[in-house]
């Protein structure tokens, strides 16, 4: 049986080889095309000024914008007779039920033939040609290509640090090359409003875009088949608003300073005026209204909010948030648009038309899909491009996750999803609290945005990281030659080597319980502390580090039986940039019966060199005792810092 199977496979392989077919990976385009077949030996030389022809096939829409693009893009085609690039565009050009954006591209001796049902498809064919051309002559081939998802986005936070209009336009060019088609524009937040609206000119204080700037960005994006989705944060993330409009605060005491009062009508009236103007300005069918991280403490204390809760028959502050989002959803829907909100909009009940953008991992998205809502996946565990992409000691300041290119690339959006028709697509998010300059902004984007593009475009099951990484190295070179800053894959260090393999341990059956604070009597079992793995660069997400938001921690390890112990230690991280600090004060104890503990005379030893303020430390040392129980107590002292421990090592 086994033999027969392998013979069949061999026959298949031979068959495809004799037809000259190459594996899909042989096409150097990012994102990977759906189908690529070599069409024999040889290649076609395309040079700037090469001629093109364009035939419309059942398409009414004017071709001038498309012509303008192909004549001015890197291919610099010119219209002419005996054309070497021949477009046929229109519903009858591509007789198939392929998704929107599909195209066929054939390269042979006589030139290049492109067929697509729409300008969008032809545009993507041109992007594939541009990338093929970057490798020199274009090999004879047949490509059939189409997107996996209709929504393939990047979010740019231009609030925490402002990006000029020119810097945004530059990223739209790179997005086009990657066939990304949504730019989610995060334009209001705690720090500022980055848009000057006629109805709220008072909000434009610092750097901002005028409506003409916005119109220019939208038009530039539209010419590249990119939709610009605006985000106006409601009801949280509004410190900037409340500074200018303190009358929108809850009455009484404020616990937080960035959430407006749901009991008052004025904030609703203000935001309805804002949304009306924003929705008129942005042609996108989507309107993102934030909805995330709205602290509910003010609403608990505010008499007006309490009154609203009572009057509307709501249960609590969570339903009050849901009431707020529901009103906004009604307003947005009444204007013929679709509301998107971050996954917190599900708290207290999800508004009927809402599309959920799932950012806290994938669970919120899975839940919303289960309820029949449309979802865009932007899980921080895979697609948050503000997270560090290499060893923290060689990287600029970044949030505490480790999100290398490979992790982004390996994201499979449909894992755990029963109704993929509700999954609109994926998006990489670049928050900019720590991203100050344009160069840094691009450094975080590229090449990880390549991986986002491939996750959103290429067929399920077509991934091959090694091939992708080689293509990404090449495309980074192309982008650099065009003045972009990219993370350097050639000097990628990778995850902490010591964290990749299990360390030797006295027993595989140890059990660790962590007690947080001095009043914790029950503790919580924490297997990560005795799993045999040291911590890597990730401090959150898929991490092996354990932390507690308290000063005093006790960890008890039960080895299961009395054993000869020769070494006891614990590993901590010291990272000044993020205010993580190894505890200055650690004490070890051992016990035979779990009742009477003897202290161990062990000091603190520095393990790794301090590089850019980052170091890993081991508290511990050699001992010679018999015991069943090991106890570690540590205290972060008076400084407000977090202590992260990865492993309690007993040998």
Nearest distance, CB of residue 341 and Zn ion, angstroms: 20
Angstrom CA distances, 128 to 103, 136, 167, 179, 274, stand at 10, 13, 24, 9, 40
Marked catalytic residue, from 186, 237, 288, 422: 237
d(CA 241, CA 145): 46
Please say whether the beta carbons of 552 and 612 come within 8 A: no
- In eight-state DSSP terms, residue 90 is S
Nearest distance, CB of residue 271 and Zn ion, angstroms: 15
Nearest distance, CB of residue 237 and Zn ion, angstroms: 17
Greatest Cα pair distance in the chain: 94
Angstrom CA distances, 326 to 304, 334, 349, stand at 19, 12, 9
Q: Which residues pair with 227 in a beta bridge?
A: 182
Nearer to Zn ion, 71 or 319 (CB): 319
The Cβ-side half-sphere exposure at 578, using a 13 Å CA radius, reads 25
440 among known catalytic residues: no
Marked catalytic residue, from 113, 276, 277, 293: 293
Tokens of 255: 């616990």
What are the residues whose beta carbons fall under 8 Å from the beta carbon of 522, sequence distance 6 or more?
A: none
Nearest distance, CB of residue 267 and Zn ion, angstroms: 9
415 among known catalytic residues: no
Nearer to Zn ion, 299 or 409 (CB): 299
Place of tokens 């260090």: 493
Nearer to Zn ion, 38 or 238 (CB): 238
3-state secondary structure of 88: strand
d(CA 128, CA 143): 9
d(CA 68, CA 42): 30
Q: Which residues pair with 635 in a beta bridge?
A: 552, 585
Marked catalytic residue, from 189, 390, 556, 647: 189
- In eight-state DSSP terms, residue 174 is H
237 among known catalytic residues: yes
Nearest distance, CB of residue 293 and Zn ion, angstroms: 17
Nearest distance, CB of residue 254 and Zn ion, angstroms: 10
Tokens of 444: 């975080």
d(CA 631, CA 568): 10
- In eight-state DSSP terms, residue 77 is -
Nearest distance, CB of residue 269 and Zn ion, angstroms: 15
Q: Which residues pair with 376 in a beta bridge?
A: 357, 425
- Please classify residue 15 by burial: count the beta carbons closer than 10 Å to its beta carbon, then call 0-12 exposed, 13-18 middle and 19+ buried: exposed
Nearest distance, CB of residue 247 and Zn ion, angstroms: 12
Please say whether the beta carbons of 429 and 443 come within 8 A: no
553: left (phi over 0), alpha (psi -120 to 50) or beta: beta
Number of C-beta neighbours around residue 213 at 10 A: 16
Please say whether the beta carbons of 498 and 529 come within 8 A: no
Nearest distance, CB of residue 304 and Zn ion, angstroms: 5
d(CA 375, CA 343): 9
Nearest distance, CB of residue 315 and Zn ion, angstroms: 17
Tokens of 24: 């899909």
Please say whether the beta carbons of 153 and 425 come within 8 A: yes
Nearest distance, CB of residue 323 and Zn ion, angstroms: 12
DSSP string, 105-138: EEEETTEEEEEESSHHHHHHHHHHHHHHHHTSSE
Nearer to Zn ion, 106 or 317 (CB): 317
Q: Where are the alpha helices (DSSP H) in 282-345?
A: 297-301, 303-311, 317-334
The residues binding Zn ion (CB under 5 A) are: 250, 261, 263, 302, 304-305
Nearer to Zn ion, 93 or 250 (CB): 250
Q: Is the peptide bond before 308 cis (omega within 30 degrees of 0)?
A: no
Nearer to Zn ion, 263 or 447 (CB): 263
Nearer to Zn ion, 147 or 348 (CB): 348
Nearer to Zn ion, 226 or 261 (CB): 261
What is the set of active-site residues? 189, 237, 293
């Amino acid at each position: 049986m086994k033999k027969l199977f392998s013979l069949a496979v061999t026959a298949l392989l031979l068959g495809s080889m004799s037809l000259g077919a190459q594996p899909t990976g042989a096409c150097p385009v990012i994102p990977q095309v759906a189908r690529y077949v070599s069409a024999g030996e040889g290649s076609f030389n395309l040079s700037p000024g090469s001629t093109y022809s364009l035939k419309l096939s059942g398409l009414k829409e004017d071709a001038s914008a498309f012509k303008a693009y192909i004549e001015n893009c890197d291919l610099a085609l010119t219209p002419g007779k005996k054309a070497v690039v021949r477009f046929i565009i229109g519903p009858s050009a591509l007789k198939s039920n392929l998704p929107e954006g599909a195209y066929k591209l054939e390269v042979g001796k006589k030139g290049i033939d492109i067929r697509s049902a729409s300008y969008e498809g032809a545009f993507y064919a041109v992007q594939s040609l541009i990338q093929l051309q970057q490798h020199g002559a274009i090999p004879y081939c047949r490509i059939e290509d189409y997107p996996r998802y209709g929504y393939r986005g990047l979010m740019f936070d231009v609030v925490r640090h402002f990006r000029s209009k020119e810097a945004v336009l530059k990223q739209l060019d790179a997005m086009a090359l990657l066939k990304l088609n949504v730019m989610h524009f995060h334009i209001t937040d705690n720090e500022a409003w980055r848009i000057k609206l006629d109805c709220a000119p008072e909000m434009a204080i610092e750097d901002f875009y005028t409506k003409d700037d916005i119109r220019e960005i939208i038009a530039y994006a539209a010419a590249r088949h990119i939709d610009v989705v605006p985000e106006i944060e409601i009801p949280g993330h509004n410190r900037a608003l409340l500074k200018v409009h303190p009358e929108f605060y809850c009455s009484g005491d404020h616990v937080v300073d960035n959430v407006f009062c749901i009991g008052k009508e004025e904030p609703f009236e203000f935001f309805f005026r804002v949304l009306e103007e924003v929705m008129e300005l942005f042609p996108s069918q989507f309107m993102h209204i934030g909805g995330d991280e709205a602290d509910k403490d003010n609403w608990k204390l505010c008499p007006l909010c309490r009154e609203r809760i009572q009057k509307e028959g709501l249960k609590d502050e969570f339903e009050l948030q849901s009431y707020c989002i529901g009103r906004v959803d009604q307003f947005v829907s009444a204007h013929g648009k679709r509301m998107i909100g971050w996954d917190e909009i599900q708290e207290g009940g999800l508004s009927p038309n809402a599309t959920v953008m799932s950012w806290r991992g994938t669970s919120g998205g899975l839940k919303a899909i289960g309820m029949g809502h449309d979802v865009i996946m932007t899980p921080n565990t895979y697609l948050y491009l503000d997270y560090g992409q290499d060893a923290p000691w060689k990287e600029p300041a970044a949030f505490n996750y480790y999100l290398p290119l490979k992790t982004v690339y390996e994201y499979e959006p449909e894992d755990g999803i029963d109704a993929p028709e509700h999954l609109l697509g994926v998006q990489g998010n670049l928050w900019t609290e720590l991203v100050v300059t344009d160069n840094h902004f691009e450094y975080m984007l590229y090449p990880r945005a390549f991986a986002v593009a491939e996750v959103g475009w290429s067929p399920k099951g077509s991934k091959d990281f090694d091939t992708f990484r080689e293509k990404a190295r090449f495309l980074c070179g192309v982008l650099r030659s065009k003045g972009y800053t990219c993370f350097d894959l050639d000097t990628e260090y990778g995850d902490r080597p010591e964290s990749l393999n299990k360390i030797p341990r006295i027993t595989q059956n140890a059990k660790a319980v962590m007690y947080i604070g001095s009043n914790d009597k029950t503790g919580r079992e924490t297997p990560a502390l005795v799993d045999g793995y040291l911590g890597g660069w990730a401090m959150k997400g898929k991490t092996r580090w354990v932390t507690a938001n308290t000063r005093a921690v006790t960890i008890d390890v039960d080895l299961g039986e009395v054993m000869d112990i020769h070494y006891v230690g614990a590993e901590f991280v010291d990272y000044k940039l993020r205010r993580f600090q190894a505890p200055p004060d650690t004490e070890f104890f051992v016990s035979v019966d779990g009742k009477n503990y003897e202290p161990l005379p062990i000091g603190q030893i520095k393990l790794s060199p301090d590089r850019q303020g980052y170091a890993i430390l081991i508290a511990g040392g050699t001992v010679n005792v018999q015991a069943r129980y090991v106890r570690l107590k540590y205290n972060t002292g008076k400084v407000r810092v977090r202590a992260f421990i990865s492993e309690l090592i007993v040998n």
